[in-house]
Structures are given as C-alpha cells and as structure tokens.
Structure 1
Amino acid sequence: MQLFRFAIAGGITTALYTIVYSPLAKYRVTSEQVANLAGYLIAMLAGYVIHSRWSFRGHGADMRQTTIRFFLVSLISYAINTGWVFLLTDDAMLAGPWWWPLVPVLFVTPLAIFALNRLWVFA
C-alpha cells in the first residue's frame, strides 16, 4: 500500500517537475540545467508535503530528523537528475533533445528515491 501511495505522490511531484522543466527547456527560455533546478524546487516542496503527510504517514517520529533527511535525499534526487540532464542534453556529452532526460527522470530516479525515503528518511 505504501508503494502505491508513493507512486501516486511521486507521480504528482514528477508531473510538477515536468510541467516546470518542459516549457523552460523546450522553448529555450533558459538552459536545461536551470529548467532542471526550477522543476526540482517545485517538486521538492510539493514532495515534502505530500510524502510526509500521506505516502509515509505514521513513519518517523522525529519530525526534525525526518525533515533534514528528506532534504538530503531531495538533494540526491536533484544530483541524479542533474546528471541525466548533463549526460543526455549537454553538447559535450550526447547532445540529445531537451526531453531525453525525462525518460530516466520518470523511470529511474523515483525508484532510488523511494528506497531512500522508505529505508532512511521515514523509517
């Protein structure tokens, strides 16, 4: 059940990331990395509220410790997604289109972040 709740909440936060990242990167309002940062900030804030109050409710009694750990895992998520953006869109790497990073952002990063949230943040 927790995985199901995480999937829904993660879907919402990933959708928010995509809604922010996509137009900024697609229409070249800014670089893909700045679009990634903007998407991350929105998703991270929404993710904390949704995950702490719904996905992992009842786990982790120490709210201060949970908050610190959540933001550390959030930074790991940002680092992973920054890596995808760099690898897949940067001219020095694969120089792909703006949307290529969305594939691993949608299907790889969430699995790692679920594990960290479940086993460490909200344990």
Structure 2
Amino acid sequence: MRDNEVLGQLVRFGIAGGITTALYTIVYSPLAAHRITSEQVANLIGYLVAMASGYVIHSRWSFRGHGADARQTTIRFFLVSLVSYALNSLWVWVLTGDAMLAGPWWWPLLPVLFVTPLIIFALNRLWVFA
C-alpha cells in the first residue's frame, strides 16, 4: 500500500513537475536564446514563474493529503524551491558561463529537466509535505 502511495505521488509529481518545468522552459528559452537578458536573469524569471505555479499544483495535487499543515508546507516549499533555484543557477553557470564551459543557452535545460526534479521530489516527499 505504501509503495503504491509513493508511486502515485511520483507519477503526479512527474506530471506536475513537467508542467512547471515546461513553464520554466517557456520563460527561460526565449529570454536566453534571443539574448533579451543574460542566462542567469532568464533563469531567475523562469524560476519565479515555476515556483509560484509549482506550489499550487504540488500542494493541491501531487502531495494532497500527505501530511503537514499549510503554513509549514509553504515555508518548507519556499526553502526547497530555493534549492531548486540554486541547482538550476549552478547548471546555467557551469554550462553557459564564459569562465566555465561557455556552451549554448540550451545546455542547462538537460540537468534542469532530468537532475533537479529528482532531487526536488525527494525533498518535497521527505520534508516539505511529510
């Protein structure tokens, strides 16, 4: 039973995370690709959009009925979202920064899509909505 609960949350988190990651990508990509702003500023703007939508989707759907009260989860969600922002900023800095790999604007999207979500799921499951 417990395994099914975790699997269900993982599937819902994947869908919700896909939506919020798509929103991040929709915001980040044109800003960075067309050099409207730096990759880091595009990352910050994408993060803000994803964080706001992510809280609503995850608290009401992904982890609904899974524990802590709303005030506690709001604070914890915000702290975990800062971890997400820090990770994504790291990917942007390492992969596109002139002092690092100096790759194209889209390189950070790979770890943003495949690494950050796994870490954030674990933090949300074990701490935010526990």
TM bracket, shorter-chain basis: over 0.9
Does residue 44 of the first structure (1) align with residue 42 of the second (2)?
A: no
Give the corresponding residue for 1:117: 124
Deviation at 1:59, TM superposition (A): 1.2
Deviation at 1:62, TM superposition (A): 1.4
User: Per-residue CA shift, 1:44-95, capped at 9, x if unaligned?
Assistant: 0000000000000001231111100000000000000000000000000000
- The CA distance in 2 between the partners of 1:110 and 1:19, in whole Å, is 17
Which consecutive unaligned segments of at least 5 residues does structure 2 have? 1-7
Give the corresponding residue for 2:61: 54
Give the SS at the match of 1:30: coil
Which consecutive unaligned segments of at least 5 residues does structure 1 have? none
Counterpart among 23, 38, 41 of residue 16 in structure 1: 23
Q: TM-score, normalised by structure 2?
A: 0.94
Give the corresponding residue for 1:80: 87
- The CA distance in 2 between the partners of 1:8 and 1:55, in whole Å, is 9
Counterpart among 110, 120, 126 of residue 103 in structure 1: 110
How large is the Cα RMSD of the aligned pairs? Answer: 0.5
User: Runs of 4 or more off by more than 2 Å in structure 1?
Assistant: none
Residue identity (%): 84
Q: TM-score, normalised by structure 1?
A: 0.99
Counterpart among 30, 38, 45 of residue 31 in structure 1: 38
Give the SS at the match of 1:87: helix
Counterpart among 68, 71, 77 of residue 64 in structure 1: 71
Give the corresponding residue for 2:5: none
